[in-house]
Amino acid sequence: MQQEKNSQNKFVNTLKEIISSRRNKIKKSIYLVSAECNISKSTWRELELGMRKDLTLTTFCKIAEGLDIAPHELLKELTDKLGKNFSFTDITKKD
């Protein structure tokens, strides 16, 4: 259980850092980037604050689009930063 929570926290924190860093690098406001990729401003903000613990593949692809990169580039950066020992199977969704 603790391993699941640690893995989920690592995933969420790494993703939020990438999203925020890349958005700032392209000099787009949350309002602009969320409008361009059809994600609500509140959802984008929750992603950057690490308040979203899970997301769909569609949302992941929209995030990449908003950051002006291909989804596979975002996934590669995420997996590179998470490291070789990270396993997505350690994250389980709680209902």
pTM confidence score = 0.84
List of residues 6+ apart from 18 with CB closer than 8 A:
74, 77, 78, 81
What is the distance between the alpha carbons of residues 61 and 57, in angstroms, rounded to a whole number?
A: 6
**What is the b/e burial string over 18-33, where b = at least 16 CB atoms within 10 angstroms of the residue's CB?**
bbeebbeeeebebeeb
Tens of pLDDT, residue by residue over 1-44, are 565 568 888 999 999 999 999 999 999 999 999 999 999 999 99
Angle at 74 between CA 31 and CA 19, to 5 degrees: 35
Topology of 2-82 in CATH?
A: 434 Repressor (Amino-terminal Domain) (1.10.260)
Domain ranges of the chain: 2-82
